[in-house]
Amino acid sequence: MQAMTERQHYKIIFTGPVGAGKTTAISALSDEQALTTDEQASDMTQQRKQTTTVAMDYGVMNLGESERIHLYGTPGQERFDFMWDILTEGGLGLILLLDNTRSHPFQDLKFFLESFKDFIATNKVVVGISFMDENPLPSLEDYQQKLAKMNYKLPVFEVDGRCQEDVATLVQALLYSHDPWLGA
């Protein structure tokens, strides 16, 4: 009888404001059909998109036969922030997606870093900036300077949430920052 190999499971959380691309990124990366809890937007979110995540998004990324990464996306609206603590439980790290077309992306950056500060205190963070093709400013360097002023030194990448390679780069950077052997 063949010995069973124990699977390693990792949990990564995607967060950020409404419309930053969390649902899309998880769907692009998941090896299985992603689970979404999107509902019709009923508030100011309607100005950005028709539906919004109300509980979570979920996908799975297989890393060979013995490792899996569980991908959880938080709702972007603050009124669903009770889900944030639930979803981060047992997480390995955080991918913060920011929409560069929003009016105040630095305020979003500050808000989400402060909102997840307890989780960040013991876990790694990678920042992905979406929609830079539509609005190139602030630049990646501007984000790095803002993070430095906030006493953070985090990897920051331009990302298209529809592009599996871009999203995979965020995951690899997070794994590598946690443990260089995981990202290899």
pLDDT tens-digit readout, 11-33: 999 999 988 999 999 999 998 88
Q: Is residue 184, in this structure, part of any structural domain at all? A: no
Per-residue pLDDT, averaged over 83-110, amounts to 93
Q: Is residue 140, in this structure, part of any structural domain at all? A: yes
**Shortest CA distance to 16 belongs to which of 127, 136, 132?**
127
CATH code, domain carrying 96: 3.40.50.300
Overall size of the chain counted in residues: 184
Query: CB pairs under 8 A, 24+ apart, for 153-156?
Result: 154/125, 154/126, 154/127, 155/126, 155/127, 156/126, 156/127, 156/128, 156/129
Q: Determine the pLDDT at residue 11.
A: 94
Instruction: Count structural domains, the chain.
Output: 1
* Full residue range of the structural domain in which residue 88 is found: 8-178
Quote the pTM value. 0.85
**Shortest CA distance to 87 belongs to which of 70, 78, 68, 74?**
74
Q: In degrees rounded to 5, what are phi and psi of residue 108?
A: -60, -45
